[in-house]
Homo-oligomer: A and B are copies of this chain.
Amino acid sequence: MASADVSASIRSISDELERASTTVAEADLSAFAALLDDAERVFVHGAGRSGLALRMTAMRLMHLGKRVHVVGETTAPAIGDGDVLLTASGSGSTGAVVTAARTAAEAGAGIAAITAVADSPLGELADAVVVVPAAAKLDRTGAASAQYAGSLFEQTVVVVGDAVFDALWHASGATADDLWPRHANLE
């Protein structure tokens, strides 16, 4: 096997990620953050790596004092009126994600979605959409990214999620010391 040049990969990923995350529309981000901020409870749902990326955001929103549940984890209750579903799908048409979004909408919940395809079932269901200029998972032509499958999209979900937290945190006026006592202490 040829030798792996990880540094070259880091530079390439870093360039792609910088471009994808900084070109997201400012107005969309504000509406997205406001929807989450106003939610009574936030329910996080995503498949595969997008789901893991969103869980990183879920943890931070909990540190910020929000009531947050991850769909599929043991004690997540039913979503309802006043709640918001936070979800992400590169293609905007992942079966389980679209089904969950439809159920959430019928239950009266808002939907905050991150997708690479605005004109998708998820994009159309959402109350606030962040559109990421990144290859959707099923585009394996390398047109939008040199990376494998939805990697760039999933990395951007991490950055967007952390930026939403960062902005809400600063807007809240809370200090790091205010958040710290909420960190899990039994692991």
- A43: chain B residues at CB < 8 Å are 186
Task: Across the interface, name the chain B residue whose C-beta is closest to A107.
Answer: B185
Residues A59 and B48 in contact, CB atoms below 8 Å apart: yes
A69–B32 CA distance with the chains assembled, in angstroms: 27
Known: A73-B73, A75-B70. A167 touches B21 (CB 8 A): no
Residues A76 and B184 in contact, CB atoms below 8 Å apart: yes
Residues B185 and A9 in contact, CB atoms below 8 Å apart: no
Known: A74-B73, A151-B162. A22 touches B4 (CB 8 A): no
User: Taking the full assembly, how many copies of this chain does it contain?
Assistant: 4
- A residues 165-183 near B (Cβ < 8 Å) are 165-173, 176-177, 179-183
Known: A7-B24, A48-B184, A63-B148. 10 other contacts (CB 8 A): A7-B26, A10-B22, A13-B159, A18-B18, A44-B74, A52-B74, A56-B154, A69-B75, A100-B186, A151-B166
Chain A positions near chain B (C-beta within 8 angstroms): 1-14, 17-18, 21-22, 24, 26, 29-30, 32-34, 37, 43-45, 47-49, 52-53, 55-56, 58-60, 62-63, 68-79, 85, 95-96, 99-100, 103-104, 107, 140, 142, 147-149, 151, 154-155, 158-160, 162-173, 176-177, 179-187
